[in-house]
C-alpha cells in the first residue's frame, strides 16, 4: 500500500502549540528535513500551528517533507472569528490536516463537527488525518463500541471514492501527551488496528477499506517506535513531543523506516 510518493509508511509530526517563538520555526523545520534525509520508505508530514504555517512552508520548499495543519473549519469564508478554511491552508501547499485530535475534542469538539471538518477537507482535496481513540479501557470492552461509533459518526456521508484519501490515527487518550499514563502495548494496538480495519471495510468495502492507512499515536519514543510498525502492523505514527527534539525524532523515523 503506497501512502504517498511511493512511500508506504508515514510519520505525522504534530507540533501542537510549539515552537513558542517564531524565531525557532525554521530551525525546527530544517532539523526535520535533515532528520528525514535518509528515509527510504517513510513519508514525513509536519503539522505546525497556523501562525507558523507560512514560515514552515517556506523552509520546506525543495524538501521531500510534506505539510499539514492541526485543524480546519468547515465553511469556506465569512464571519467565523478565529477559524481557518481548507482553501487557506491548501494555499500554503498543505495537503494534510489533523481532524478530531483528542486535545481538541477535550475542548468541546463533537462528532458532528469532526464529520463536517472531515467532509469539507476531503472536498477541498486535503487528506484528513482523522483521530479516534478511547479515554479508558474497561473490562467489558465498551471501548471498542466507542471507537466504532466515533469512526461511524466522523465518516457519515463520506463517499467510498473520497474515503480513499483518509488516514486514520488511533490514539488512545490515556497514552497521549504529557499526562499519558503509558504508551499502549503493541498487542493492544494490533488488536485495535484489526478492529478499525474491520469497521472501515464495513463502511467502504474491501478494496477501499483495506487501503486506508492506520497510524498509532501516543507516547511514542525511539524504543517502542519499531514495534508499532512490526508487531502492531501500523502504517505509521502520529507523534507529538518527540517531533520537537531532532535527535529523538531522527531515531524514531529511522526505526520506523527500517522496521
Ligand atoms: P505525544 O502526542 O507523542 O506527545 O504523546 C501524540 C499526539 O498528539 O498524537
Q: What is the pLDDT of residues 107-153, one digit of tens each?
A: 999 999 999 999 999 999 999 999 999 998 888 889 999 999 999 99
Q: Which residues line ligand 1 (CB under 6 A)?
A: 14, 171, 176-177, 180, 217-220, 238-241
Whether the pLDDT of residue 179 is over 90: the answer is no
- The confidence score (pLDDT) of residue 2 equals 79
DSSP of 134-181: -S---TT-HHHHHHHHHHHHHTTT--HHHHTT-EEEE--GGGSSTT-S
The 3-state DSSP class for residue 129 equals strand
Q: What is the pLDDT of residues 209-250, one digit of tens each?
A: 999 999 999 999 999 999 999 999 999 999 999 999 999 999
- The confidence score (pLDDT) of residue 26 equals 98
* Residue % of the chain over a pLDDT of 70: 100
Atom of ligand 1 nearest to the CA of 239: 3
Sort residue 133 into left (φ over 0), alpha (ψ -120 to 50) or beta: left
Alpha-carbon radius of gyration of the chain: 17
Q: How confident is the model at residue 5 (pLDDT cuts 50, 70, 90)?
A: confident
- The confidence score (pLDDT) of residue 139 equals 83
Number of residues that make up the chain = 259
CA of 177 to the centre of ligand 1 (A): 5
| Chain mean pLDDT for the chain | 96
Amino acid at each position: 500500500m503506497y501512502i504517498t510518493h511511493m512511500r508506504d509508511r508515514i510519520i505525522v509530526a504534530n507540533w501542537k502549540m510549539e515552537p513558542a517563538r517564531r524565531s525557532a520555526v525554521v530551525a525546527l523545520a530544517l532539523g526535520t528535513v535533515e532528520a528525514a534525509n535518509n528515509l527510504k520508505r517513510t513519508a514525513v508530514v509536519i503539522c505546525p500551528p497556523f501562525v507558523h504555517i507560512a514560515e514552515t512552508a517556506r523552509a520546506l520548499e525543495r524538501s521531500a517533507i510534506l505539510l499539514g495543519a492541526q485543524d480546519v473549519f468547515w465553511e469556506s469564508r465569512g464571519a467565523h472569528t478565529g477559524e481557518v478554511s481548507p482553501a487557506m491552508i491548501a494555499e500554503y501547499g498543505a495537503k494534510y490536516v489533523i481532524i478530531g485530535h483528542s486535545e481538541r475534542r477535550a475542548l468541546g469538539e463533537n462528532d458532528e463537527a469532526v464529520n463536517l471538518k472531515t467532509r469539507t477537507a476531503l472536498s477541498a482535496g486535503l487528506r484528513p488525518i482523522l483521530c479516534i481513540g478511547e479515554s479508558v479501557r474497561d473490562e467489558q470492552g465498551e471501548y471498542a463500541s466507542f471507537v466504532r461509533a466515533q469512526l461511524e459518526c466522523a465518516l457519515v456521508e463520506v463517499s467510498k471514492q473520497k474515503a480513499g484519501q483518509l488516514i486514520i490515527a488511533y490514539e488512545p487518550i490515556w497514552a497521549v501527551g504529557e499526562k499519558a499514563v503509558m504508551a499502549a502495548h503493541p498487542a493492544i494496538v494490533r488488536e485495535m488496528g484489526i478492529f478499525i480495519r474491520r469497521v472501515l471495510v464495513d463502511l467502504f468495502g474491501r478494496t477501499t477499506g483495506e487501503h486506508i492507512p492506520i497510524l498509532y499515536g501516543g507516547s511514542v519514543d525511539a524504543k517502542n517506535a519499531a514495534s508499532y510498525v512490526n508487531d502492531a502492523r501500523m502504517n505509521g505514527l502520529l507523534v507529538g513531543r518527540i517531533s520537537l527534539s531532532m535527535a529523538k525524532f531522527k531515531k524514531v523515523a529511522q526505526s520506523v523506516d527500517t522496521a
